[in-house]
Chains A and B, each alone.
Chain A
Amino acid sequence: MDLATLAGDYTVRTVVAGAALLGIVSGVLGTFAVLRRQSLLGDALAHAALPGIALGFLVAGQRALPALLAGALASAVAAALLVALLVRRTRLKGDAAIGLALSLFFAVGVILLSFVQGRAGAGQAGLETFLFGQAAAILRSDLWVMAALAGVALASVAALWKEFELVTFDPTYAAALGLPVAVLDVTLTALVAVAVVLGLQLVGVVLMSAMLIAPAVAARQWTHRLGRVAILAALFGAASGVLGATVSAGARGLATGPLIVLALSAFTALSLVFAPTRGLLPTALRRRADRAGHRDRDVLRALDTLRRRHDDPTYAAERGMVDATVGHPTGRTLRTLERRGLVERVRHRPEEGRHWRLLEAGEAALERGRDGPDAPEGRA
């Protein structure tokens, strides 16, 4: 299938729209989750939604998306409350509390699922699509439900933006200002649960945590302003959603969810490595340049010191003396400096070996370095 046919395909358009929607919502809410150090809560919420889905099915008596999503939301929030209770009231650490809630809710979900499937006529419920995500199963009517939920979630974030920002970065100050911190906490967690529930049908339980974490981590690499991180995360999420859904539609047999997550992982990896200020590569290059600068200055300073000590502005020092003054071999640095015209080599008699002399340009460079921002302490 070529791109034009794909774009015209009704199912494909539905899936792509749903994936983009999910990317936006999980990008924005994942930003808060990651900054609040609750990255893995999303994983717990996703697993914990399972019993709610089964209960929603049992209550509604059919695969009605609003009922399933309501159930999923309720059980996800219940799991979040359990995690909060365990962390506050027991000596279990956060990770154990999350793992506990995750696996126990999931176990109950597996039991309920097997119960649902065991009943006559309910075998076709297709509830397992929520485990692994089955993008192709999304109907146009599902899309409207998802859009409504996404709209509510994004509108809530926009309306409570300042409050959420404060609770995220400085909960103590927020409390001092009289903000209802606990209520805001629960609200934010519930909104994360909304994002998770939206994603279940598309990417499934396991991959949902990446949908929340990856866009935020990628976006954080490029800017430190919360608003921009959220918007960038939404863009990364949406782009991955569209990319994954389109590739999956084009290459039959490749699951949508894993493709979206791999696209996201690629964005994240690229951002981690290449982002200008926080990227690992630019940081490493900067550090290397700094080190080279220090080496150069050390050698120039050694030549200058030796020259002063001999009261001879044109004094040429032997390699060994430069090495001894700096404290380590300097041959390579000297050759680099020679290429840059800062020092020159002088040959006296053959048996005396090479000597090095500081040139005017080198003197100037040393002067500059002394007043420059990188000047060593006590010298500036």
Chain B
Amino acid sequence: MNAIALQIVATGALVGVAASTLGTFLVLRGRALASDAIGHAIVLGIVLVWLATGATSGPLQLVGAAAAGVATVWIADALGRTRRVADDAAIGLTFPALFALGVLLLNVYARDVHIDAHTVLLGEIGFVWLDTVPVFGVAVPDALLWLSVVTLLNVGFVATFFKELELGTFDPALATAFGFAPGALGGALLALTSVTAVASFDAVGVVLFVAFTIVPAATGYLLVDRLARILWIAAGVAVASSVLGYLAASAADVSIGGGMAAATGVFFALALAFGPRYGLVAQRIRRRSERDVHENRALAVHLFQHAGTREAGEENVVGALRDHLRWSERKARDVVARSLDAGWVDRDGERLALTERGRAAAREILHPERRDAPSAR
């Protein structure tokens, strides 16, 4: 990789780490779409700050955008509190209105400035090396510098308030009782999300910022339960996606930002399919084994109920499973084979009989209350 490639990958990785660190909490708190709302609404903040001060980047822009982002969520929350609008509808009403206002202001005042809607939505990570500032004599891309600051800010924030954030996320009531001020921390989270969005939008654009906020965090959440591990996995996925996304996108000569965001999707798909506990394959295996156990128990109960009765000769045979339990030929064969393996059933030609173990199992299913009272037997 040459220097430019390295700068591009580093930019993507920083966006990813900064966004997914906060995104983990947003996803767990059910506020994932705040990143979408904030990402769009900061356009208005950027335009207003530019109109007021003429600055198109730098600390003023970060502060202005943070204010716009927090204001968006605040307006949406206030709308939701009136109980006239559902919470999700409130978000969906607020950010398009602010975005529309921002775009119209751009239409009127800023036709030739570089902050146009295209950049905001799509970004162009391929050009991050164009604007540089000297740091200790080395030309460092603007975006890279700001993203480093923002990443340090986010990671520092999460590390400092980890305990408070964790409790505020999983048990807000207890956090309030402890005096952890979950409201203030939630506000800080949203403010940092806004700052991160404005620092990222030049590079990857708003929608891909949303991808970096939500997808790595969701990937971690599907894999593990411990908050710290989710954070580590999210950061890892974000960095790996930047590298892979860059390599794939530049090989195919397509959008690099899009490639990086899509790469997070690949990791998510893998976790969704093959996650050890929550993955779809694991779920399927678990469901199947539960069904197997269930069927074995059904057979044991069936045999137990008819054992020693007049119909035993006609009920406790393999054919009856098909005719009376309406099991398919294959299912009956499978269940009998499993029950033989488990030592619950003995087979004599067509006839089936429970072993002592099978009888015990059936008794326990039918009369669970006697399990702890052997004297009642």
Residues of A within 8 A of B (CB): 34, 37-40, 42-43, 47, 86, 89-93, 95-96, 98-100, 102-104, 106-115, 118, 128, 131-132, 205-207, 209-210, 212-214, 216-217, 220-221, 253-255, 257-259, 261-262, 265, 268, 272, 278, 280
The yes or no answer to B278 lying at the interface (CB within 8 A) is yes
The yes or no answer to B135 lying at the interface (CB within 8 A) is no
Tell me what chain A mostly uses at the interface: helix, strand, loop, or mixed.
helix
Separation of A42 and B92 alpha carbons in the complex (Å): 9
In the A-B complex, list the 6 residue pairs whose CB atoms are closest, starting with the nearest: A110-B258, A103-B211, A210-B96, A107-B261, A258-B100, A114-B255
Q: Are B84 and A118 in contact (CB-based, < 8 A)? A: no
Separation of A128 and B278 alpha carbons in the complex (Å): 38
The yes or no answer to B337 lying at the interface (CB within 8 A) is no
The yes or no answer to B335 lying at the interface (CB within 8 A) is no
Interface residues of B in 231-282 (CB under 8 A from A): 249, 252-255, 257-259, 261-262, 264-265, 268, 272, 278, 280
Q: What residues of B have a CB within 8 angstroms of the CB of A100 in the complex?
A: 32, 214-215, 218, 268
Closest B residue to A244 by beta carbon equals B100
A108-B258, A278-B84 known; A255 vs B107 contact (CB < 8 Å): yes
The one of A93, A103, A113 in contact with B215, judged by C-beta atoms closer than 8 angstroms, is A103
Separation of A118 and B96 alpha carbons in the complex (Å): 30
Tell me what chain B mostly uses at the interface: helix, strand, loop, or mixed.
helix
The one of B100, B218, B254 in contact with A111, judged by C-beta atoms closer than 8 angstroms, is B254
Q: What residues of B have a CB within 8 angstroms of the CB of A257 in the complex?
A: 100, 103
Separation of A254 and B27 alpha carbons in the complex (Å): 37
Q: What residues of B have a CB within 8 angstroms of the CB of A213 in the complex?
A: 89, 92-93
Q: What residues of A have a CB within 8 angstroms of the CB of B91 in the complex?
A: 39-40
Q: Are B97 and A262 in contact (CB-based, < 8 A)? A: yes
Residues of B within 8 A of A (CB): 27, 30-33, 35-36, 40, 79, 82, 84-86, 88-89, 91-93, 96-97, 99-101, 103-104, 107-108, 111, 117-118, 121-122, 205, 207-208, 210-211, 213-215, 217-218, 221-222, 249, 252-255, 257-259, 261-262, 264-265, 268, 272, 278, 280, 283
Interface centre among A37, A110, A255 (most CB of B within 10 A): A110
The one of B84, B97, B253 in contact with A265, judged by C-beta atoms closer than 8 angstroms, is B97
Q: Are B101 and A113 in contact (CB-based, < 8 A)? A: no
Q: What residues of B have a CB within 8 angstroms of the CB of A255 in the complex?
A: 103-104, 107
Closest A residue to B116 by beta carbon equals A132
Q: Are A40 and B88 in contact (CB-based, < 8 A)? A: yes
Q: What residues of B have a CB within 8 angstroms of the CB of A95 in the complex?
A: 30-33, 88
Q: What residues of B have a CB within 8 angstroms of the CB of A92 in the complex?
A: 27, 218, 221-222
Q: Are B93 and A268 in contact (CB-based, < 8 A)? A: yes
Q: Are A111 and B259 in contact (CB-based, < 8 A)? A: yes
Separation of A110 and B265 alpha carbons in the complex (Å): 14
23 A-B pairs (CB sep. < 8 Å): A40-B88, A86-B272, A95-B32, A96-B27, A96-B217, A99-B36, A103-B215, A106-B207, A106-B208, A106-B211, A107-B208, A110-B122, A114-B254, A114-B258, A207-B96, A214-B93, A217-B85, A253-B108, A253-B111, A254-B107, A262-B101, A265-B97, A278-B84
Separation of A254 and B217 alpha carbons in the complex (Å): 39
Give the shortest distance, in Å, between B230 (CB) and chain A (any CB). 12
Closest B residue to A109 by beta carbon equals B258
Give the shortest distance, in Å, between A178 (CB) and chain B (any CB). 23
Separation of A244 and B361 alpha carbons in the complex (Å): 73
A40-B33, A91-B221, A265-B100 known; A107 vs B211 contact (CB < 8 Å): yes
Question: Could you list 19 further interchain pairs (A-B, Cβ under 8 angstroms) beyond the known A38-B88, A100-B32, A209-B92?
Answer: A42-B92, A43-B92, A89-B283, A91-B221, A96-B218, A104-B211, A107-B208, A108-B265, A110-B122, A111-B258, A114-B255, A132-B121, A210-B96, A220-B84, A254-B104, A258-B107, A259-B100, A272-B79, A272-B85
